[in-house]
Amino acid sequence: MLTRVLIAAFLLVAVPGAVSAQDAAVATLGLTDHKVTDEELTSGAALAAPKFNTPGVAYVVVAHAKKGDKIELHLTKDGESLMHNVRELDADEDGVLVMAGKTGVPAGGWPKGSYTAKVKVTRGGETIAEQETDPIPFE
């Protein structure tokens, strides 16, 4: 126990910001065919994947976000951002939900390709969390 206390004290004194810079984390990241709610995500139920003729929505929940953090979420196709949403926090928040995408269907449906949800969280100009889903086709 004493060892853990000493290590924590060392990190707080010798490496200022080391502990706080690591606290924001991507809790949930994905793609679905509708606008999601906090309740739906916390239920643990599987969400339907988008199809070529349904809406396509990227979503992320960021845990332990701090005032000033910037959350950038992109719905990408073949590595290029199609739609994005940026949220800069006015206060500390836990469980920040951000969505980007289209709640309607593009004319003719979604083009063939590989789609992903990609998020980047920055604090003070430095990236503190970054993640991307595995690519999925909108079949």
Q: What is the pLDDT of residues 17-46, one digit of tens each?
A: 444 445 899 999 999 999 999 999 989 889
**Please, are residues 66 and 119 in contact by the beta-carbon 8 Å criterion?**
no
- Does 14 fall in a domain? no
- Does 11 fall in a domain? no
Q: Residue 3: its pLDDT value, please?
A: 30
Q: Residue 22: its pLDDT value, please?
A: 52
- Does 5 fall in a domain? no
Q: Which residues of the chain fall below pLDDT 70?
A: 1-22
Q: What does pLDDT average to over the chain? A: 86
What is the number of structural domains in the chain?
1
- Does 132 fall in a domain? yes
Q: Residue 136: its pLDDT value, please?
A: 94
Phi, psi for 65 (deg, rounded to 5): -75, 150
Q: Provide the residue range defining the domain that includes 55.
A: 23-137
- Does 85 fall in a domain? yes
Gap between the Cα atoms of 6 and 104, Å rounded: 55
- Does 109 fall in a domain? yes
Tally Cβ neighbours within 10 Å of residue 123.
20
Gap between the Cα atoms of 3 and 82, Å rounded: 49
56-63 and 96-102 as β-strands: parallel, antiparallel, unpaired?
Answer: antiparallel
Which CATH number is 89's domain given?
2.60.40.10
Burial 64-87 (b: 16+ CB within 10 A, else e): bbbeebbbbbbbbbeeeebbebeb
- Does 123 fall in a domain? yes
pTM for the predicted model, two decimal places: 0.82
